[in-house]
C-alpha cells in the first residue's frame, strides 16, 4: 500500500508558508518560475498525474480544458473566491470536486473598498498626479475640492460577507447605509441599513454606490447608461467586485459628462489590460484587482486551498467545497 503524500500541481508559486507546507505534506513538482497558462498546466497534469490541481484565474478550466484533465485528478482547488474561470458543471460531471477560498479575504476586500471610496471622493488620483508632476503653486480656496465622505449615503449592491463588512466600516464614517440584495437580511444583519428590493429604487438616494456581488461575462451589465443615470449628479461609483457588472462605455460617458464626480475601480472587463479610455480619465482611482493582496490574506488563501486538498485526500469533508 502506497504511503506517498497527496500529489498536487499548482499554476503559480504560492506564498512561502504554503510552499514550505507543500514540501513537507505533499508530493509536488517545483513551483513554476512564472504563472502557468492553461495549456502548460494541462501538460504538467498529464506528466505528473496529480490528485489535485491548485490554481488561480490565470489558468481557467472550461469546456475542452476540463475534458483534458487526466482521470487521476479528483480536486480543483482555486485560490480565490470567484469561480468565473472554472466550468463547475463540467468538473462535477467528471466527478472532480471543486473548492475555493471564501471568508479569509472578507476584511481585506472591505478595507480596499473603503480605500476606493475615500480615494474617489477625495480626488486621490489627481492629488497624487499633481504631486508627482511637481506642486509648483498653492491651490485656491476652490481648487481641486473633493467630497466629504462622513455622513454620506452609501448604497451597497450585494450585502453578503464583504458587503456587510464594508457597511461596518462605513458606519465609522457616520454614513447612512442603503442596500439592494436578492433577499432582505435579518434585523441583526441589517444593523439599521435600509433595504431596497429594486435596485432602481435605491440608486437615486446614493451619494456613493459600491458593488459587491458575483458577475458573469454572459450576463448583461448591471450598471449601464440607464442605471448610471439614476444616480444623483455628482455621485461616486466604486467597483471591487467584477468588471463584467459594468458597461464601461456608459461609465466613461458618465464620468466625462460630470454626471459622476469620480470612480474607484479594482476590477475591469479586460484584465490585465483595461480600456485605455478608462485609464486616461483623471477622476478615476484605480487598483489592479488587488482586493486580497495582503501578506496575511494571501497566505490564508493559499493555506485554505491546501486544507481542502488535505481533507479530500484523507476522505474528510472539505472546509470550503463548491457545491453549485
Q: Under the phi-then-psi rule, with left for phi > 0, alpha for psi from -120 to 50, and beta for the rest, what region is 262?
A: beta
Among 180, 289, 298, 310, the active-site one is 289
Among 197, 200, 256, 271, the active-site one is 271
Among 242, 248, 298, 310, the active-site one is 242
Is residue 289 annotated as a catalytic residue, yes or no? yes
d(CA 299, CA 276): 32
d(CA 19, CA 30): 9
> Which residue is associated with the grid cell 481648487?
143
Is residue 180 annotated as a catalytic residue, yes or no? no
Q: Long-range contact list for 188-194, CB < 8 A, 24+ apart?
A: 189/159, 189/164, 191/167, 193/156, 193/159, 193/167
Q: What are phi and psi of 251, to 5 degrees?
A: -65, -45
> What is the number of other CB atoms lying within 10 angstroms of the CB of residue 156?
28
Active site residues: 242, 271, 289
Amino acid at each position: 500500500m502506497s504511503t506517498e503524500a497527496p500529489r498536487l500541481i499548482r499554476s503559480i508559486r504560492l506564498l512561502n508558508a504554503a510552499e514550505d507546507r507543500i514540501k513537507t505534506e505533499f508530493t509536488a513538482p517545483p513551483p513554476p518560475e512564472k504563472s502557468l497558462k492553461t495549456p502548460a498546466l494541462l501538460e504538467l497534469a498529464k506528466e505528473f498525474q496529480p490528485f489535485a490541481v491548485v490554481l488561480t484565474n490565470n489558468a481557467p478550466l472550461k469546456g475542452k480544458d476540463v475534458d483534458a484533465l487526466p482521470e487521476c485528478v479528483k480536486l480543483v482547488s482555486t485560490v480565490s473566491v470567484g469561480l468565473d474561470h472554472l466550468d463547475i458543471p463540467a468538473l462535477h460531471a467528471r466527478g472532480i470536486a471543486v473548492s475555493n477560498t471564501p471568508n479569509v479575504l472578507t476584511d481585506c476586500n472591505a478595507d480596499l473598498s473603503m480605500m476606493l471610496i475615500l480615494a474617489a471622493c477625495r480626488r486621490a488620483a489627481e492629488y497624487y498626479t499633481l504631486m508627482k508632476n511637481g506642486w509648483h503653486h498653492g491651490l485656491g480656496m476652490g481648487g481641486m475640492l473633493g467630497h466629504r465622505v462622513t455622513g454620506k449615503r452609501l448604497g451597497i449592491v450585494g450585502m453578503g460577507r464583504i458587503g456587510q463588512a464594508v457597511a461596518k466600516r462605513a458606519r465609522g464614517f457616520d454614513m447612512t447605509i442603503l442596500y439592494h440584495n436578492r433577499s432582505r437580511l435579518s434585523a441583526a444583519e441589517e444593523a439599521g441599513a435600509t433595504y431596497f428590493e429594486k435596485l432602481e429604487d435605491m440608486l437615486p438616494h446614493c451619494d456613493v454606490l459600491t458593488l459587491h456581488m458575483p458577475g458573469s461575462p454572459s450576463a448583461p451589465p448591471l450598471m449601464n447608461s440607464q442605471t448610471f443615470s439614476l444616480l444623483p449628479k455628482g455621485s461616486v461609483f466604486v467597483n471591487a467586485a467584477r468588471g463584467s457588472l459594468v458597461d464601461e462605455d456608459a461609465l466613461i460617458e458618465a464620468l466625462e459628462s460630470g454626471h459622476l464626480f469620480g470612480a474607484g475601480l479594482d476590477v475591469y472587463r479586460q484584465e490585465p489590460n483595461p480600456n485605455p479610455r478608462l485609464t486616461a480619465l483623471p477622476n478615476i482611482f484605480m487598483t489592479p484587482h488587488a482586493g486580497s493582496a495582503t501578506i496575511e490574506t494571501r497566505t490564508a488563501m493559499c493555506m485554505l486551498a491546501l486544507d481542502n486538498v488535505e481533507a479530500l485526500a484523507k476522505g474528510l469533508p472539505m472546509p470550503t467545497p463548491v457545491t453549485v
